[in-house]
Each structure stands twice: as structure tokens, then as C-alpha cells.
Structure 1
Amino acid sequence: MIHELRIYQVAAGRMADMDVMMSRDCTPVFQRYRMPRPLGAWSASAGPRLPAYIWMLAWPSLEERNKGWAAFGADAEWQQIRRKAHEKSELTVRVDTQFMVAWPQFTPADGADLSPKGAVTDLWLMRVHTGLGGPARKCFLETDRRILEALGARVEAAFDLLSGEELPVIACIVRWPDAARRGEILQQYDAHRDVRAAREAEHAALGCDVFTSCDRYAMNAASPFGT
């Protein structure tokens, strides 16, 4: 199983158009080629490149993924949808596509919905020092996940990125009780003595910081596909 993460930086003022195109217009074409229903689709309200539309797919293999997208891209209906979407102005500024493998502890179940209506969710892209992927996973599971969940958040899924400009990177989906609690929990997590102690211990043992930086996208569920 391989997971595909797609992050679209949407042109200013075009997020509503993007949401309609993805959730309504593209659905029949996806279904025609038996492409998997997205595990999640979100619009980001905070993060490094905004506005952003983010979605995730699970494929049986890279070969199946390539076949599906090739058929989709050649479809006449999709080509018409794309031309219409870009008639007045470009819909997207940038598209980042990344492949990921899920951690055994956090593999989304078949048919999982990571973006239920009303949910407040983050995508974290945690950059890891070269060669320290194993220690980073251990640190996250033993410290970061434990503290986040003790404070009231929940780690829904976690992945190692297989592609991208900066590797290694850990991607995780974090669910918050609500928008107000998100800010409170993040503040408590960032200042938590156990998190700080873990970072200091990692640096002392390894001679460097395990996590070098982290992009956090604050996300709300986009319209479900097929609406």
C-alpha cells in the first residue's frame, strides 16, 4: 500500500472554485476509472503556502496509481473540466505531490475518513535530520504522541515520506477537540517540559536535533467527494 499526498496552493480568491471542482465535477471521472475515494480532503487556514487544498489517496501499488492517473489525465471530460476551471485565471499556483508509507501503528483503515465534517485537523510535515528516521519515529511515538494525546489531541495517522525535496520527513494527521482547544493544546505541547527534555536528550545522545523544522497546516474538512 502506498499513500499519495497532494497539496495544491490555490490562486487567491479561487478556493470555492477548487472545492466545487474536486468534490463535484471530478467525482464521475474518478469513479469511471475506479480511482480510490480520498482518505481525506481539506482546506488549510494556516500553513506555509496558502490558500491550500490538501487531499490524500491510498493505492494498492505505485503501478496502479500511475495507471489510474494516466487514464484520468487522458479523459475528455476531465480535460474539459480543467479548461473551464482555468478560463478566467489559473486555478492553482503550485502542486506538490508526495508518496508516503504509513507506520504500522497508524495505518488508516480501508474506507477511513480522515476529514469528517466539522473536524479540526492538522497536517504536520516534520523534517528529520539526515540518517535519523528511526530515532525520529521512536521519539515521536514515545514523547510527542504521548503528550499530544494526554493534552486532548489525537494522532490519526503517521507516515514516512518517500519523495519530496527534503527527506527524511514524517507526515502526521492530528485531530483537535475544536478550534479553540487547538491553540491551547499546541501552546502547552510546545512548552511541555517532557517535550523539551526529550529534545535535549536527543541532542546530547546524537549530537544534533532529530527534528530540524515542522510545517503545520491547520485544516478544515473540504466538501465530501460526490456532493
Structure 2
Amino acid sequence: MIQQLRIYEIFENNKAAFHARFRDHAARIMTGRYGFKFASMWETKFGDRTEFVYLLEWPDEATKTAQWAAFMADPEWAEIKRVTHAEHGPMVGQIEDRLLAQVDYSPARGRSLLLG
């Protein structure tokens, strides 16, 4: 089991539209079609930058890679991005993607971080 941390720079002028798009479309497609498992999601400020952060859990790196490729090629997602970009402008700046490896003394070592 591995965890993936994603950090998106988002913009104050269209932050509500970004959250609506992620909540109503991206998360729906990711979980419903491609088996993404979200541990949690956050919004944070880093200096003057607003960020949307989420943590995913995967059974292994090969599954993560395959499911991300499938999601990024999804025609519905591509159309949603095209329409929302046309309406609201760029919604995401820099994206950071990190694969997290638990250390041997982690309290959660070998356990799922998913709630429920």
C-alpha cells in the first residue's frame, strides 16, 4: 500500500469554480471509474499562495500509474476541463505530486489511512 500526495496551486479569483469542478466532476470520475481512494482533502495557504491538497491511497505504484493515465485520457474529464477553462480561465497553477513511503517507525505502518 502506498500513499500519494497531490498539491495544486489554485487561484482566489476562481477558487469556488475550481472546488465545484473537483467536487462535482473530477472526484466523481476518479472514484467512480478509476478506483481512486481519497484519504482526505484540504485547502491551505502557503505564503500568498492558495493550495488544494489531497491524499490518495493505492495498492501499488503500477495501479497508481495506470489509473492516472486512464483518468487523464477520460473524454468526459477532457471536455469538463475545456468548458471550465473557457468559462473561468486557468484554474490550476503548479501541481506537485509526491509518492509517500512510510518509515519503519510510523504509527500507521502497513495500515490503510482511509477513514471508515
Percent same amino acid at aligned positions? 22
1:105 corresponds to: 107
Structure 1 residues 4 and 41, CA gap change in structure 2 (3 angstroms) = same
Output the TM-score relative to the length of structure 1: 0.45
d(CA) in 2 for partners of 1:78 and 1:61? 24
Which residue is equivalent to 2:75?
76
- Give TM-score, length-normalised by structure 2: 0.84
Q: CA, structure 1 residues 110+100, in 2 after alignment: closer, same or farther (shift >3 Å)?
A: closer
Q: Distance in 1 between matches of 2:35 and 2:48?
A: 31
Q: Aligned equivalents of 1:13 and 1:75: distance in 2?
A: 27
**Map of 2:5 onto structure 1:** 5
The Cα RMSD (Å) is: 1.9
Equivalent-residue separation in structure 2 for 1:6 and 1:48 (angstroms):
18
Secondary structure in 1 aligned to 2:12?
A: coil
Partner of 1:176: none
Partner residue of 2:56? Answer: 57
1:84 shift after superposition: 1.7
Q: How much does 1:112 deviate?
A: 1.7
- Contact in 1 for aligned 2:36/2:57 (Cα 8 Å): no
1:75-111 deviations in Å (ceiling 9; x for gaps): 1101011112211311011111111012431346353
CA distance in 2, matches of 1:27, 1:105: 28
Q: Which has the higher contact order (CA 8 A, sep 6+)?
A: 2
Code of the residue aligned with 2:108 in structure 1: it is F
State the shift of 1:67 in Å: 0.5
Q: Which residues of structure 2 form unaligned runs of 5+?
A: none
- For residues 113 and 6 of structure 2, what CA distance do their matches in structure 1 show? 19
Partner of 2:13, secondary structure, is coil
Give me the whole-angstrom Cα distance separating, in 2, the residues matched to 1:34 and 1:98.
19
CA shift for structure 1 position 41: 0.6
Cα separation, partners in 2 of 1:97 and 1:49, compared to 1, 3 Å: farther
Q: Does the residue aligned with 1:14 lie in a helix, a strand or coil?
A: helix
Q: Distance in 2 between matches of 1:112 and 1:48?
A: 30
Matched, 1:17 2:20: no
- Runs of 4 or more, structure 1, over 6 Å off, are none
Match of 2:35 in 1: 34
Report if aligned partners of 2:57, 2:114 keep a CA contact under 8 Å in 1. Answer: no
Greater C-alpha radius of gyration: 1
**How many residues were matched structurally?**
111
Rounded to whole Å, the distance in 2 between the matches of 1:79 and 1:15 is 19
Question: What amino acid is aligned across from residue 106 of structure 1 in structure 2?
Answer: A
